[in-house]
C-alpha cells in the first residue's frame, strides 16, 4: 500500500486544528477525512475504508475516549492516535489502556505526528499480515504440526490423508530436520488407529547389543540383569503403530529378524521360545538413501521392499523457501504462547537472510532460530541482532548468475507476475505469496506505480 492509498480520519472540534493538520497530512500524500465530533465521525467510519484514526481527547458530546472504546469494539485492529491537551497525562494513559496506539500533546509537532502515523501503520500492516497468515495456516496449509503451501508439501499432505486409514508399511524419507516423525504421527492420528498406541523407537540412539531386546522384548534370565520378563516395543504397539526412526541404522543381523517379523507378523522374545503374534503397522523413517545402501551391501534388498510399500519424501527447506513465511508465523505463535511474548514478525533484513540461507538443519533449524529470536527480541519484531552469528554474517550476493542484483530480480518477478495475471494486482500478489499491500509497496519502490 502506498501513502496515497491510506485514508486517515481526523476528529477535532476546532476548525483551525482540522485545517492545519489536514494540510500537513495531505502534504505527506495521505487521503484525509475530517469530523468535528464523535457523533459525526461514526458514519464516516461505517461508510469509508479508514486506515487510521486521529482524535482529540476532548470533544463536544461523546468524548474521544468513548469514540476510541467504540472503535476498538467494532474495528479492534484500526490504529488510533489520541491528541491531548498539554499535561493531560491521565487521559493519555487511559487512552493507551483502551487500545490507542499512542498519543500526542498539543501543540502538535508535525514531524513527530508523521513519524507516529508511519509507525502505527507499519504495525497495523504487520498485524494484518500475521492474522491472514494464521487464517491461511489453519484453513489451507497445515496438517497437524506440519506447515507448507508449496506444491511439494501439499503433495505430502494429500498422500498422508490417502494412506492414513490403510495398514500398508510406509517409508518416510528426507534430510534431518524435515519433520519425518511429524509425518508419522499425522498418518497415525489422522486415521482410524488414532486412539491406539503410537510407539517410537530411535534405531540410531540405542546401542546395537540392546536394540534386539528393545524391539522384541526379553524373558526372565535371558541375560545378566534380566530379573523379569519385559515386553518389547513391537509388543507395546500391538493394535497400533510402531515408528522406526532412523531405520537406516539397523545392523544387518537385526534387519533379518525384522524382515521375518514383517513376513510372519510374529516374533520370539530374546531368550524365549514362544512365538507371539501381534497386529502392528510399521512406519519407518530414514535420512539415508536406502537404495544406495542396498547397492553397497549395507542393507537387505528384501527388507527395503517390505518397508517401502509406499514412500513419502519430505523436501528440504531450501527447496521450498516460499513456505518460510508460513513457518515463521507458525513458530512465532508457538513460542509467543510458551514465553508470554507478543513478537509480531521478523524485520525485512531478517527475512532476506532467511531467503538466502540454505538451512542445512531444515525446519528444525528454523524453529530453533525463531525460538531464540522470541526470547532475545526487545521490540515488536525479530531483528538481525537476535539471530545466531552464522546467519548475521551471511553476506547477500552482490549479483546473481545472470548479473542482476537482488532488487532487479525482485522487480522482474513482480513484472512477470503482473503480466501473467493480466495486471490484476490481487492475483499477482497471490502468485508471489505476499499481500496486496506488500505488492503495492514494492511496486512503488521499483517505480511501477
Are 170 and 267 in a shared domain?
yes
Buried b / exposed e across 14-36, counting CB within 10 Å, b at 16+? eeebbeebbebbeebebbbbbbb
Backbone angles phi, psi at 339, to 5 degrees: -110, 10
**Which pLDDT value is given to residue 23?**
94
Helices of type H across 85-179: 89-97, 110-139, 151-163
Alpha-carbon span 321 to 39, nearest angstrom:
49
Number of structural domains, the chain? 4
Residue 330 lies in a domain: yes
What is the average pLDDT across 96-100?
A: 87
Sort 384 into a burial class: Cβ within 10 Å, 0-12 / 13-18 / 19+.
middle
Residue 401 lies in a domain: no
Closest CA to 125 of 81, 69, 79: 79
pLDDT band at residue 397 under the 50/70/90 scheme:
very low
- Give me the chain's average pLDDT, please: 86
Q: First vs last Cα of the chain: how many Å apart?
A: 11
For residue 54, pLDDT beyond 90: yes
Sort 419 into a burial class: Cβ within 10 Å, 0-12 / 13-18 / 19+.
exposed
For residue 328, pLDDT beyond 80: yes
**Which pLDDT value is given to residue 144?**
64
Residue 410 lies in a domain: yes
CATH number reported for the structural domain that contains residue 413 in this entry? 1.10.10.60
β-pair partners for 240: none
Residue 144 is classified by DSSP as T
Are 161 and 250 in a shared domain?
yes
Are 376 and 431 in a shared domain?
no
**Which pLDDT value is given to residue 191?**
78
> Which residues span the domain enclosing 432?
406-445
Tens digits of per-residue pLDDT, 398-439?
444 443 456 666 777 788 788 777 788 888 887 777 888 888
**Which pLDDT value is given to residue 392?**
81
Tens digits of per-residue pLDDT, 276-319?
999 999 999 999 999 999 999 999 999 999 999 999 999 999 99
Are 132 and 40 in a shared domain?
yes
Cell digits of residue 119: 509507525
**Which pLDDT value is given to residue 236?**
93
- Residue where a domain stops, chosen among 108, 137, 166: 137
**How many other C-beta atoms lie within 10 A of the C-beta of residue 40?**
15
Q: Cell numbers 504487520 correspond to what residue?
A: 126
**Which pLDDT value is given to residue 156?**
92
- Residue where a domain stops, chosen among 99, 116, 137: 137
**Which pLDDT value is given to residue 123?**
83
- Going across the sheet that includes 310-313, the strands are 198-202, 241-245, 281-286, 170-173, 310-313
β-pair partners for 7: 31
Are 298 and 160 in a shared domain?
yes
Residue 397 lies in a domain: no
- Of the chain, the percentage scoring pLDDT greater than 70 comes to 91
**How many other C-beta atoms lie within 10 A of the C-beta of residue 12?**
23
Alpha-carbon span 139 to 157, nearest angstrom:
13
Which of 63-72, 209-218, 397-406 comes out lowest in average pLDDT? 397-406
- Residue where a domain stops, chosen among 137, 164, 197: 137
Q: Are 383 and 343 in contact (CB under 8 A)?
A: no
Tens digits of per-residue pLDDT, 112-163?
999 999 989 888 887 777 666 555 544 454 566 678 888 999 999 999 989 9
Alpha-carbon span 27 to 25, nearest angstrom:
5
What is the average pLDDT across 381-390?
A: 90
Q: Are 384 and 347 in contact (CB under 8 A)?
A: yes
For residue 61, pLDDT beyond 50: yes
Tens digits of per-residue pLDDT, 241-275?
999 999 999 999 999 999 999 998 899 999 988 99
Please tell me the pTM assigned to this model.
0.59
Which helix (H) or strand (E) covers residue 282, if one does? strand 281-286
Alpha-carbon span 346 to 340, nearest angstrom:
17
- Of the chain, the percentage scoring pLDDT greater than 90 comes to 52
Are 288 and 161 in a shared domain?
yes
**Which pLDDT value is given to residue 7?**
93
pLDDT band at residue 89 under the 50/70/90 scheme:
low
Alpha-carbon span 333 to 271, nearest angstrom:
50
**Which pLDDT value is given to residue 315?**
93
For residue 98, pLDDT beyond 60: yes
Are 224 and 301 in a shared domain?
yes
Are 102 and 21 in a shared domain?
yes
- Strands (E) in 133-240, as ranges, are 142-143, 146-147, 170-173, 198-202, 217-218, 230-231
Which of 48-57, 150-159, 223-232, 436-445 comes out lowest in average pLDDT? 436-445
**Which pLDDT value is given to residue 164?**
87
What is the average pLDDT across 355-370?
A: 93
CATH number reported for the structural domain that contains residue 339 in this entry? 1.10.8.60
Alpha-carbon span 49 to 32, nearest angstrom:
11
Question: What is each CA distance from 333 to 23, 54, 154, in whole angstroms?
Answer: 41, 30, 22
CATH number reported for the structural domain that contains residue 209 in this entry? 3.40.50.300
For residue 2, pLDDT beyond 80: no
Residue 400 lies in a domain: no
Residue 398 lies in a domain: no
Residue 399 lies in a domain: no
Buried b / exposed e across 293-324, counting CB within 10 Å, b at 16+? bbeeeebbeebbebbeebebebbbbeebbebb
Are 103 and 82 in a shared domain?
yes
**How many other C-beta atoms lie within 10 A of the C-beta of residue 183?**
27
Are 230 and 293 in a shared domain?
yes
Which helix (H) or strand (E) covers residue 329, if one does? helix 324-339
Q: Could you tell me if residue 205 is left (phi over 0), alpha (psi between -120 and 50 degrees) or otherwise beta?
A: alpha
Residue 76 lies in a domain: yes
For residue 395, pLDDT beyond 80: no
Are 361 and 290 in a shared domain?
no
CATH number reported for the structural domain that contains residue 49 in this entry? 3.40.50.2300
Are 181 and 208 in a shared domain?
yes
Amino acid at each position: 500500500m502506498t501513502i496515497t492509498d491510506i485514508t486517515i480520519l481526523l476528529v477535532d472540534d476546532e476548525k483551525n486544528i482540522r485545517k492545519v493538520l489536514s494540510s500537513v497530512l495531505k502534504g505527506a500524500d495521505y487521503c484525509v477525512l475530517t469530523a468535528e465530533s464523535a457523533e459525526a465521525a461514526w458514519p464516516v467510519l461505517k461508510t469509508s475504508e479508514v486506515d487510521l484514526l486521529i482524535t482529540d481527547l476532548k470533544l463536544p458530546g461523546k468524548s474521544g475516549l468513548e469514540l476510541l472504546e467504540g472503535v476498538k469494539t467494532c474495528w479492534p485492529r484500526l490504529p488510533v492516535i489520541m491528541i491531548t491537551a498539554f499535561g493531560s497525562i491521565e487521559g493519555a494513559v487511559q487512552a493507551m489502556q483502551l487500545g490507542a496506539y499512542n498519543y500526542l500533546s498539543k501543540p502538535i509537532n508535525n514531524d513527530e505526528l508523521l513519524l507516529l502515523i508511519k509507525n502505527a501503520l507499519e504495525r497495523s500492516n504487520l498485524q494484518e499480515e500475521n492474522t491472514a497468515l494464521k487464517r491461511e495456516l489453519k484453513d489451507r496449509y497445515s496438517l497437524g504440526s506440519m506447515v507448507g503451501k508449496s506444491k511439494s508439501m501439499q503433495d505430502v499432505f494429500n498422500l498422508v490423508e490417502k494412506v492414513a486409514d490403510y495398514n500398508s508399511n510406509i517409508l518416510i524419507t528426507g534430510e534431518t530436520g524435515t519433520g519425518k516423525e511429524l509425518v508419522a504421527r499425522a498418518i497415525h492420528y489422522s486415521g482410524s488407529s488414532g486412539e491406539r498406541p503410537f510407539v517410537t523407537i530411535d534405531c540410531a540412539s540405542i546401542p546395537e547389543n540392546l536394540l534386539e531386546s528393545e524391539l522384541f522384548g526379553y524373558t526372565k534370565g535371558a541375560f545378566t540383569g534380566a530379573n523379569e520378563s519385559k515386553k518389547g516395543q513391537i509388543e507395546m504397539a500391538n493394535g497400533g503403530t510402531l515408528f522406526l526412526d532412523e531405520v537406516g541404522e539397523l545392523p544387518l543381523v537385526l534387519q533379518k529378524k525384522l524382515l521375518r517379523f514383517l513376513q510372519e507378523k510374529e516374533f520370539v522374545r530374546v531368550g524365549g521360545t514362544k512365538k507371539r503374534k501381534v497386529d502392528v503397522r510399521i512406519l519407518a523413517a530414514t535420512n539415508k538413501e536406502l537404495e544406495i545402501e542396498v547397492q553397497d551391501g549395507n542393507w537387505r534388498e528384501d527388507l527395503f521392499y517390505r518397508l517401502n510399500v509406499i514412500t513419502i519424501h519430505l523436501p528440504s527447506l531450501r527447496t521450498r523457501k516460499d513456505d518460510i513465511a508460513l513457518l515463521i508465523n507458525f513458530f512465532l505463535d508457538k513460542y509467543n504462547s510458551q514465553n508470554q511474548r507478543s513478537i509480531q514478525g521478523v524485520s525485512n533484513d531478517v527475512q532476506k537472510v532467511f531467503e538466502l540461507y540454505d538451512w542445512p538443519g531444515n525446519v528444525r533449524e528454523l524453529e530453533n532460530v525463531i525460538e531464540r529470536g522470541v526470547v532475545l527480541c526487545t521490540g515488536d519484531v525479530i531483528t538481525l541482532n537476535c539471530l545466531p552469528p552464522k546467519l548475521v554474517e551471511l553476506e547477500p550476493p552482490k549479483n546473481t548468475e545472470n548479473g542482476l542484483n537482488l532488487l532487479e530480480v525482485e522487480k522482474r518477478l513482480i513484472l512477470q507476475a503482473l503480466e501473467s495475471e493480466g495486471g490484476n494486482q490481487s492475483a499477482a500478489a497471490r502468485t508471489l505469496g505476499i499481500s496486496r499491500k506488500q505488492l503495492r509497496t514494492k511496486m512503488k519502490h521499483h517505480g511501477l506505480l
